[in-house]
Amino acid sequence: MLLATLLSPSGCRPGGSREAKMAARDSAELAARAQRLDSALTRPDTTKHKDAPLARWLLPNSLAEISGLALTPDGKLFAHDDNVGRIVQIDYRRGSIVKQFTLGSPPVRGDFEGITWTPSAMYLLASNGKLLEFREGADGARVDYAVFDLHLGRECEFEGVAYEPASSSLLLACKTVYKASLQGSLVIYRWKPGDTSTTVTELTVPLERIIGSHNWGGLHPTDITIEPSTGDYVLVAKEKALIELTPKGDVVFARKLHDRHSQPEGVAISKDGILLISDEAGKSGTAALTLYHWP
């Protein structure tokens, strides 16, 4: 399935294989999209055009509630549904859906808020801190999964997970803090897969250090990823914010996202310098995946 685009005059064509001619046109369009992106990446990212997207893909209704993003070392981008264990692979360079598979039969249901990849498995995070471990499936497959409960549901509502290679740990970003002693801080929990004790550690950063002069009123992270060259933590937040922190909690920057982001829910960064941000349909009525120069 090709995704609609706001940055190409050729627009969207429906997927399928009704005719060889249509398939050939789709193939040509995908190649043209990839070429345009490669060309845009070679142009310098000037301050004047800092907020200009490299590409912006409009997602189908089946991804209206797109949540977290996960980018593998070999360039596969995975997204997931908010309410059902459905995993979708997106070719973000060409604006098309590669495949989709589900967890369980029938597909497991829950309030799923983040996805990540590790060398041994993939993980889907629920808002109550439960992690579903699974393997990548083929198109249309229904894969088995295991559940790990970190017993953190009373401390935090979670919305974002990432794998940190340097510590071989999962980072779980807290959207809403419930624990009294952690109020007023951005909280990230660390947990090592395979730790049967489900022991976690905490990174806390006072919100005032991050918010600064921004008129955000609070900060509610919706996803987290690892900056591939520095190992820093990059987060998006409900307040249309983009934040970079060091693993020690020092603030590198905190800036406002462009107003085109109606409901930022996912973030990822490619090795060749592309920042990807996903937005739920929300009030705008259309979910989107937007690509920018990084940094």
Which two three-digit tokens encode residue 225? 């990823």
Is it the case that residue 142 has pLDDT exceeding 50? yes
- Give 175-187 pLDDT, tens digit per residue: 999 999 999 999 9
Q: What is the pLDDT of residue 11?
A: 36
> Could you tell me the pLDDT band of residue 50, with boundaries at 50, 70 and 90?
low
In sequence order, the 6+-apart residues with CB closer than 8 A to the CB of 106 are none
Q: What is the pLDDT of residue 24?
A: 73
- Give 101-114 pLDDT, tens digit per residue: 999 999 999 999 99
Q: What is the pLDDT of residue 15?
A: 43
Average pLDDT over residues 230-253: 98
Is it the case that residue 13 has pLDDT exceeding 50? no
Q: What is the pLDDT of residue 8?
A: 42
Average pLDDT over residues 190-200: 85
Q: How high is the mean pLDDT of the chain?
A: 91
Average pLDDT over residues 241-258: 98
> Could you tell me the pLDDT band of residue 19, with boundaries at 50, 70 and 90?
low
- Give 154-181 pLDDT, tens digit per residue: 999 999 999 999 999 999 999 999 999 9
For the chain, give every domain's residue range: 48-293
CATH 2.120.10.30 fits domain 48-293: yes
> Could you tell me the pLDDT band of residue 9, with boundaries at 50, 70 and 90?
very low
- Give 216-232 pLDDT, tens digit per residue: 999 999 999 999 999 99
Greater model confidence, 192 or 285? 192
Task: Please state the pTM of the whole predicted model.
Answer: 0.91
Is it the case that residue 88 has pLDDT exceeding 50? yes
Instruction: Give the Cα-Cα-Cα angle 262, 245, 259 (nearest 5 degrees).
Output: 15
Is it the case that residue 46 has pLDDT exceeding 60? no
Burial track 101-113 (b if 16+ CB lie within 10 A, e otherwise): bbbeeeebebebb
Is it the case that residue 47 has pLDDT exceeding 70? no
Task: Write the DSSP string, 244-286.
Answer: EE-TT--EEEEEEPPTT-SSEEEEEE-TTSEEEEEE--GGGTS
